[in-house]
Amino acid sequence: MYEAVSFDLWFTLIYEDNKMLEDVWRSRVAAIHSVVKTYREDITFDDVYRMYYEMRHILMTTHPRKLIEYIVVGLGLDREAIDKILPIYKNISISIKPHVNKEAFHILPKLKELGVKIGLTTNTSFTEDMIRKLLRDIGLNEYIDAIASSSDLGVSKPDKRIFKEIVSRLGVDEEKVVHVGDKYIYDAVGSYLAGLRPVLYRGLWPMYQYYRDFSMDVVEFNYPPNILVIDSLEELLKLFR
């Protein structure tokens, strides 16, 4: 009998598009530049943007404070700028509202009614406190019992350590936890290797076409029998009844 479920966040409960991604990036760079230029007027927005872009591959496993430290030190600025930039950076990051999967408003309350514990296991540049603020703004926070964020932990899916962390935070044995996510390797295979019940969710795959990082990321074939494949989050209920 399963007692808890771990959800992926992006393209499972919420999603974004290319414009939203670019808006977030430019807003973050603007936040950094707004402080940087008070130290050195010769540093331009484009200078900061190029440095930020260079670190795109570590965004998901680097805490925002460390990320800002790299930029501040890289620009030759005093470290005191980090504490000035961080709160602005975090507030700007969560000011852009993602699209919400309408299925989330139906499945999360139903799972709660069944006494299921609910966690998030997410590869994201958002820290837990940022995720909590985002979830409050879109009306989902009350359903989430625990969060494991890659940028907080320094490890990302499919690494089993991030799955072990959410299991620990949920306080449930791993074999009693279901993990649901849209990525076959990151979510389904990763959670299976960590001892969880893997579920591959394809309901938001059509939205990949609007997001540059995922546009070529659909993996379709004859999945092994240990992977439950669903197209609607409502299908999860059969695992808990």
Task: Tell me the pLDDT tens digit for each residue of 137-163.
Answer: 999 999 999 999 999 999 999 999 999
Under 8 Å between Cβ of 134 and 20: no
pLDDT of residue 238: 93
Q: Report the distance separating Cα 71 and Cα 81, nearest Å.
A: 10
Q: Report the distance separating Cα 119 and Cα 2, nearest Å.
A: 13
pTM above 0.75, yes or no: yes
Peptide bond into 158 cis (omega under 30): yes
Burial class from Cβ neighbours inside 10 Å (0-12, 13-18, 19+) for residue 134 reads: buried
Q: Report the distance separating Cα 65 and Cα 100, nearest Å.
A: 27
Neighbours of 44 (CB within 10 A): 12
pLDDT of residue 213: 73
Chain segment 154-196, per-residue pLDDT in tens: 999 999 999 999 999 999 999 999 999 999 999 999 999 999 9
> Which H or E run includes 48?
helix 45-54
Beta bridge partners of 148: 121
pLDDT of residue 222: 85
- Enumerate residue ranges in the chain where pLDDT < 70: 215, 217
Angle formed by the axes of helices 128-138 and 80-93, to 10°?
A: 30
pLDDT of residue 90: 95
What is the DSSP-derived secondary structure letter of residue 125?
S
Q: Which of 39, 7, 13 is nearest to 147 (CA)?
A: 7
